Chain A
Amino acid sequence: MPKEEPQKKSRRGQSFAARPTPRALAKAKTGIQGLDEITGGGLPRNRTTLVCGSAGCGKTMLAMEFLVRGIVKFGEAGVFMSFEESADELGQNVASIGFDLPALVRQKKLCIDHVRVVRSEMEESGDFDLEGMFIRLGLAIDAVGAKRVVLDTLEALFGGFANLGILRAELRRLFDWLKERGVTAVITGERGEGTLTRHGLEEYVSDCVILLDHRVVNQLSARRLRIVKYRGTLHGSDEYPFLIRENGISVIPITSLTLDHTASTKVVSSGVPSLDKVLGARGFYRSSTIMLTGAAGTGKSSIAGHFIAEAGRRGERSLYMALEESQSEIVRNTRSIGINMTPLIRRDMLRFHVARPTAYGLEMHLASIHQAALEYRPSVMVVDSVTSLMSMGAGPEVTSMIVRLIDFLKMSGITLLMTALVESLKDGDTTSVNVSSLVDVWLTLSNHDIDGARRRTLSVVKARGMGHSNRTHELTISNTGVQIMHDTASGMRS
């Protein structure tokens, strides 16, 4: 942060403090989850932002949420000028995400003006202007003292008037007028063929353009948001998945585009003392990411169960994201190895987040994990299994989702243990999700048939920042839990 130095004078003898810093671009927070993070603080204040995308991509929803959050969170009244839907229709559409527009209108915090433009009802004879629209907009702004304005969508005007020369000139005048009025505006536009909007609205809006996209991949819908441009601001340039949920839009990731989280030196036990010994550091580093890979029945979920029980013993909360089994199945199965999760659940020290991977799209999963983690604030999280997510999308998408999840949990100081199913011993050292480089601890579990008996083994592929065993250890599971065998020739490096 550049701070003004009072003794330092410019050549004209004027102190720096007297002048506003030219770099600081005032922004208006949208209050939309995740959007303010990727725009570095919101939309350009007192400017116009274009939100474009094809039909049904969520333009109107985003614009409306910008207004409603502005009113509710930031005390800024708003005007919604709708060229398509009536106030009643708008109200019904957003009631599903918990917005009560009629109440906001009654409280004189929101003004909705439905502009009907029907070409067939209108004859054109000679010159005209759109002063009527300016008067209506001005009236609405004054009626509630609006600081935010939405025009949804101006493109309807192109269907309403034959004289496009006049229309374009008036649009240009409108954007200047909005700036003069000192309102932060959002206009929406329909995506055109090879252009951002069908009628080139992007020509008039030079400050900020946001593109929304809604596509279906593998029969699962995926919504994306991209900031096409944002003058004078460093912004995330990726396509961000977003969701329309029961409480509005949430853009993912919610946090962090950087790797600036501080590494913890605190260690937490895995819950299996003999495993802690293998790791050589009494357990896992707090807020690290641990991956357990192995074939079916090698003990992945059992180790996860110990880890959760141990967190409960420390008095810390755990969140169990179960993608393969139901809560009662997990509780029953862990009881058979001597872990009783029921008291933890009763004391709200353990919550399950059960969802079939196919029940939602990929983004929905990530968002629900975020949401659950934000609300519940666990210190430990288990994802069982991450492989289940594979069925939901193409490889790179799943990888990027897991990368975001890891980042988010690290930033939040949550220790993540995830299990991954690998089909055979052969690919035991690679994971199909390709996140092995991101995890801090990687343990592989396998089954061996030795002398007619099935034997489980565990080995440490890597354990960042710890002197760990490089041997393959035998692992046993009994009704008292998981045990790691330390042979006579212990492989501890230390």
Chain B
Amino acid sequence: MTARRKAPSGKAPRASESYVLYLYVAGETPRSAAALANLKDICRLHMPAGHRIKVIDLLKNPKLARDHQILALPTLVRELPTPVRKIIGDLSNTERVLVGLDIKTAR
């Protein structure tokens, strides 16, 4: 696809450069805290063009688990750029996260 994504708010930059990430968790567990911390580190180091992280607590909004096909927790979903990618776990393996986000290709 060559067409550039037209951001509704006008502030989202080119798809290839900016990330919209959803982190699904169930309550404030040590594992969800670890996942968020790991994610922030990865974003800081590998997403120079910017990113947006939204934490979704399924205990508060359980319907989203069904609507978004979430099974394992924590789950990181790359909403943008498309296609949607999913990474499960506490994101402690940076290598796998980068592969999952398409920042690095799998070797």
For residue A157, which residue of chain B has the nearest CB?
B71
Q: B93, A125: Cβ atoms under 8 Å?
A: yes
Which of B3-11, B14-22, B45-53, B57-65 is found at the contact surface with chain A?
A: B57-65
For residue B24, which residue of chain A has the nearest CB?
A132
SS class, residues of chain A in contact with chain B: mixed
Which chain A positions have C-beta within 8 A of B70?
132, 136
**How many residues of A sit at the interface, in one of the four size bands?**
20 to 34
Q: Mark A112-127, 1 if CB is under 8 A from B, else 0.
A: 0101110001111111
Residue of A116, A126, A129, A138 near B62 (CB, 8 A) is A138
The smallest beta-carbon distance between B38 and chain A, in angstroms, is 8
Q: A115, B69: Cβ atoms under 8 Å?
A: yes
A482 to B28, CA, bound (A): 90
The smallest beta-carbon distance between A119 and chain B, in angstroms, is 11
The smallest beta-carbon distance between A226 and chain B, in angstroms, is 32
A394 to B34, CA, bound (A): 65
Q: Mark B86-98, 1 if CB is under 8 A from A, else 0.
A: 1111111110110
Q: A161, B72: Cβ atoms under 8 Å?
A: yes
B43 within 8 A of A: no
Which chain A positions have C-beta within 8 A of B100?
123, 125
A116 to B71, CA, bound (A): 9
Which chain A positions have C-beta within 8 A of B71?
115, 117, 130, 132-133, 136, 160
The smallest beta-carbon distance between B30 and chain A, in angstroms, is 10
Residue of A113, A115, A124, A140 near B88 (CB, 8 A) is A124
A131 to B31, CA, bound (A): 12
For residue A116, which residue of chain B has the nearest CB?
B69
A270 to B24, CA, bound (A): 78
Q: Mark B31-42, 1 if CB is under 8 A from A, else 0.
A: 100110010000
A296 to B37, CA, bound (A): 89
B12 within 8 A of A: no
For residue B58, which residue of chain A has the nearest CB?
A135
B26 within 8 A of A: yes
The smallest beta-carbon distance between B70 and chain A, in angstroms, is 4
Q: A123, B88: Cβ atoms under 8 Å?
A: yes
A487 to B88, CA, bound (A): 93
Q: B58, A126: Cβ atoms under 8 Å?
A: no
A487 to B74, CA, bound (A): 95
The smallest beta-carbon distance between A295 and chain B, in angstroms, is 68
B73 within 8 A of A: yes
B99 within 8 A of A: yes
Sample of 11 more A-B contacts, CB < 8 Å, known A117-B71, A126-B93? A115-B69, A122-B87, A123-B85, A123-B99, A124-B87, A124-B89, A125-B87, A126-B38, A127-B92, A128-B31, A140-B66
